[in-house]
Chains A and B, each alone.
Chain A
Amino acid sequence: SYVLTQPPSVSVAPGKTARITCGGNNIGSKSVHWYQQKPGQAPVLVIYYDSDRPSGIPERFSGSNSGNTATLTISRVEAGDEADYYCQVWDSSSDPSRVFGGGTKLTVL
């Protein structure tokens, strides 16, 4: 099965930039999607196709993907960005074919 590896936690001060990584074998050849999940709520799509933002998602959220690492970048971090973040890919040759990373808890100091 295809494995996505995320750091369990990332901490950042308000107004600074947070970077959350998602590692996978040759992940740069796949489309990576990112979700934000706040406590007690359903996940929300914040980045799709590596770097595209759905409507309503602030420009502060951006993504990149190359080699073995995809990265979600949150600029000018706000207290409201504190949440769990998950990366996800589709790998048709893997079981399961839809794979999520283990999640990263973003803490705003």
Chain B
Amino acid sequence: EVQLVESGGGLVQPGGSLRLSCAASGFTFSSYDMHWVRQATGKGLEWVSAIGTAGDTYYPGSVKGRFTISRENAKNSLYLQMNSLRAGDTAVYYCAREVTTGAFDIWGQGTMVTVSS
């Protein structure tokens, strides 16, 4: 079964750091671009970062310089290192697989990140 499972969410103080993980199974992880997408409670979806099969990375301006996406193909794992966290980063964070059409065809169940003092 094709599956993505996120972990690592939790409560962190403003200015703190957190590292999210996403474990992939059921497909050749190294062959796909991977993404993180977040959703604040009651709000819409927001793209957070992407990493290509060659390790190239992409970020929106809202997180560039604070978030770092990485992958470890040998472990079928995707990561998101989040530094200098703000209250506005509070959200459910999903990892997602991108197919050649540019669509996200597989999503994890999400992990909650709460930034609060």
| A and B associate in one complex | yes
Interface residues of A (CB under 8 A from B): 31, 33, 35, 37, 42-45, 48-49, 52, 54, 86, 88-90, 95-103
- Contacts A95-B60, A100-B44, A100-B46 given: A42-B101 contact, CB under 8 Å? no
For residue B88, CB closer than 8 A to chain A, the reply is no
CA distance A90 to B35 in the complex (A): 13
Q: How far is the CA of A90 from the CA of B110 in the complex (A)?
A: 22
Interface residue tally for chain B (C-beta within 8 Å): 22
Interface pair A43/B45, CB less than 8 Å apart:
yes
A21 CB to nearest B CB, Å: 16
Within 8 A of A (CB), among B5-43: 35, 37
Q: Given A48-B105, A49-B103: A42 and B46 within 8 A (CB)?
A: no
- Which residue of B45, B99, B102 contacts A100 across the interface (Cβ within 8 Å)? B45
Task: Verify B47–A31 contact, CB threshold 8 A.
Answer: no
User: Distance (Å) between the CB of A24 and the closest chain B CB?
Assistant: 15
In the complex, chain A residues whose CB is within 8 Å of the CB of B62: 96
A20 to chain B, nearest CB (A): 14
Once bound together, how far apart are the Cα atoms of A101 and B46, in whole Å? 9
Task: Please tell me if the beta carbons of B101 and A33 are within 8 angstroms of each other in the complex.
Answer: yes
| 10 contacts across the A-B interface (CB closer than 8 A) | A31-B103, A33-B101, A42-B110, A43-B94, A48-B101, A52-B101, A97-B58, A97-B60, A98-B50, A100-B46
